[in-house]
Amino acid sequence: MSNFQTDSQNDLSASENTTRNTLDPSDWQSLREQGHRMLDDIIDHMSALHDKPVWQPIPQVKRDLFTEPLPHGPSSLASAHQRFMEDVLPYSVGNASPGFMGWVQGGGSPVGMLAEMLASGLNANLGGRDQMPLEVERQILHWMRELFHFPESASGLFVTGASMANMISVLVARNRILGQSVRRQGLADSPKKLVAYTSAGAHGCIMQAIDLCGMGTDYLRVIELDDQYQMNLVQLKQTIDNDRAQGLTPFFIAGSAGTVDVGAIDDLDAIADIAAAENLWFHIDGAFGAMAMLSKKIAPRLKGIERADSIAFDFHKWLQVPYDAGFIIVRDGSLHHDTFASPATYLRRETRGLAGGSPWPCDFGPDLSRGFRALKTWFTIKVYGADKLGSIIDKTCDLAQYLKTKIEAQSELEMMAPVALNVVCFRYLGKNNITADQLNETNADIVADLHESGLVAPSATSINGQIAIRAAMVNHRIEQRNVDILVEQVLRLGRLKLKD
């Protein structure tokens, strides 16, 4: 009897229930068959992404399907899968689609998807203990040390994403400047008032990290950008001097390797010089940009990254690993360890047996239970190879240049920021003079209309107070024809709206 075919076949007999109460099926063969159907369906979906809308509005009746009360009885696996296929899959955000250029999101890959299935089947908990999955995570750390030219003593940890990775860096930097006693005494007892620095181009999660770490966002100095959208280093220097003159303690500076708005790379080498001279922790938010170390063309522009004290980045963006897979690498591994390690008795370490293999990942961050994010990352790097992944990064940057050329050839369109990497900010300008408000409204409308068309999905951002259409080329599936569609549709919608 199958536990998985239809709702009516789900009742286990009373005797079976008493002898064998488990979540495993009584009939593995029908599970296998249903599993193969599920695998086929998701591979069919992936292979046909080109023909599907990037996004479509969710009908209210579909939303309402997910407000049912807690189901006390079972359903068949087949019927739950059918619900997924009909009610969930068609209404996702579409970041796997070739028309998706919104925000900075990776497209995932078939290899990563299959690896995630294996990881889930193994159900490894990577908080610690002596197990091979941790060697896979350490292999990734090993590769990242090599990529960023970090020493053997550098530590690293998988986390949800760059937001969490950036926060961890703030905590390690705090311990460096205040010493281990801050873990017991907190910030309030310290005579030092800490100040951090970043640029106006930094991601919002830097400010959030300063907030969450209890330092107060009033103590994050947001340094202005220069005309290349890089941190203004003259202002940085002056601000540090002013803060010192007021008796404050500068401790942390976050540079950006690929800003979220326009893809600018700070002058990392120059920031490293300032950090060294001023005894500041030099952190880099390289959420997507750090992976450009895999591109022979772009890597030289990241010069200085090898001097960072810590780098936060994501495998789920430019490296196309399925969500989520963020990472933090810290040059001083023992300081990183001492920031988080705790002596809980139930986490006692041994020299042999399962409780061996110390230090454990839970000694390097706030998570105890952790999934096997390393496996999908390992499969991605192993199967495609670093060079191929680097070529995808180059391809997306080439597409950004292609889009820029097309925009510059159209008098009705205007570039809004330089194209440093893979992000293009532009707007529809029209043929006649209209007010700034009208322009903002028109461009915001164009973006929303594009989303609803399902053809292509850029996002909107604001650059110096002006709304820009922002196309971030991250997804490996974007092709020139998707860029052509973007330009055609922006022109069509803009002309329609302004009656040009």
Ligand X SMILES: *Cc1c(COP(=O)(O)O)cnc(C)c1O
Site residues (CB under 6 A) for ligand X? 104, 161-163, 203, 205, 258, 260, 285, 287-288, 314, 326
Beta carbon of residue 44, minimum distance to ligand X (angstroms, whole number) = 29
Residue 68: helix, strand or coil by DSSP? coil
Which structure tokens are listed for 154? Answer: 């550098």
Q: Tell me whether residue 112 or residue 357 sits nearer to ligand X (CB atom).
A: 112
DSSP code, position 415: E
Beta carbon of residue 356, minimum distance to ligand X (angstroms, whole number) = 32
328 phi, psi to nearest 5 deg: -125, 130
CB 293 within 8 A of CB 328: no
Beta carbon of residue 163, minimum distance to ligand X (angstroms, whole number) = 3
**Helix 480-498 to helix 436-453 angle, to the nearest 10 degrees?**
130
Q: Tell me whether residue 182 or residue 423 sits nearer to ligand X (CB atom).
A: 423
* Cβ-count burial 334-358 (b if 16+ within 10 Å, e if not): ebbbbbbbeeeeebeeeeeeeeebe
Q: Tell me whether residue 254 or residue 275 sits nearer to ligand X (CB atom).
A: 254
Nearest CA to 75 among 144, 124, 6, 140?
A: 6
Nearest CA to 82 among 113, 38, 117?
A: 38
Give the containing element (helix H, strand E) for 158.
strand 155-159
Beta carbon of residue 258, minimum distance to ligand X (angstroms, whole number) = 6
Q: Tell me whether residue 96 or residue 104 sits nearer to ligand X (CB atom).
A: 104
Q: Cα separation of 416 and 256, whole Å?
A: 20
Residue nearest to ligand X (CB): 161
* HSE-up of residue 459 (Cα within 13 Å, Cβ side): 18
In Å, what is the CA distance from 95 to each residue of 99, 407, 485? 8, 23, 17
Beta carbon of residue 161, minimum distance to ligand X (angstroms, whole number) = 2
Q: Tell me whether residue 158 or residue 288 sits nearer to ligand X (CB atom).
A: 288
Q: Cα separation of 373 and 120, whole Å?
A: 10
Beta carbon of residue 281, minimum distance to ligand X (angstroms, whole number) = 17
Q: Cα separation of 258 and 416, whole Å?
A: 17
Per 3-state DSSP, the chain is made up of helix, strand and coil in percentages (nearest 5) of: 50, 15, 40
Which structure tokens are listed for 22? Answer: 């488990």
Q: Tell me whether residue 178 or residue 223 sits nearer to ligand X (CB atom).
A: 223
Residue 500: helix, strand or coil by DSSP? coil
CB 301 within 8 A of CB 350: no
Beta carbon of residue 317, minimum distance to ligand X (angstroms, whole number) = 6
Q: Tell me whether residue 129 or residue 283 sits nearer to ligand X (CB atom).
A: 283
Q: Cα separation of 494 and 410, whole Å?
A: 13
Amino acid making up residue 411: S
CB 402 within 8 A of CB 482: no
**In the block, residue with structure tokens 């040009």:** 500
Beta bridge partners of 427: 414
Which structure tokens are listed for 262? Answer: 């326009």
Beta carbon of residue 104, minimum distance to ligand X (angstroms, whole number) = 4
Nearest CA to 480 among 426, 427, 408, 403?
A: 403
Nearest CA to 221 among 244, 254, 198, 205?
A: 198
Q: Tell me whether residue 162 or residue 231 sits nearer to ligand X (CB atom).
A: 162
Q: Tell me whether residue 124 or residue 260 sits nearer to ligand X (CB atom).
A: 260
Beta carbon of residue 316, minimum distance to ligand X (angstroms, whole number) = 7
**In the block, residue with structure tokens 């996002």:** 459
Beta carbon of residue 378, minimum distance to ligand X (angstroms, whole number) = 19
**Helices and strands, counts by H and E, the chain:** 16, 11
DSSP code, position 302: G
Q: Tell me whether residue 178 or residue 472 sits nearer to ligand X (CB atom).
A: 472
Q: Tell me whether residue 155 or residue 163 sits nearer to ligand X (CB atom).
A: 163
Beta carbon of residue 423, minimum distance to ligand X (angstroms, whole number) = 10
Beta carbon of residue 182, minimum distance to ligand X (angstroms, whole number) = 25
Q: Tell me whether residue 78 or residue 474 sits nearer to ligand X (CB atom).
A: 474
Q: Tell me whether residue 163 or residue 459 sits nearer to ligand X (CB atom).
A: 163
Beta carbon of residue 433, minimum distance to ligand X (angstroms, whole number) = 35
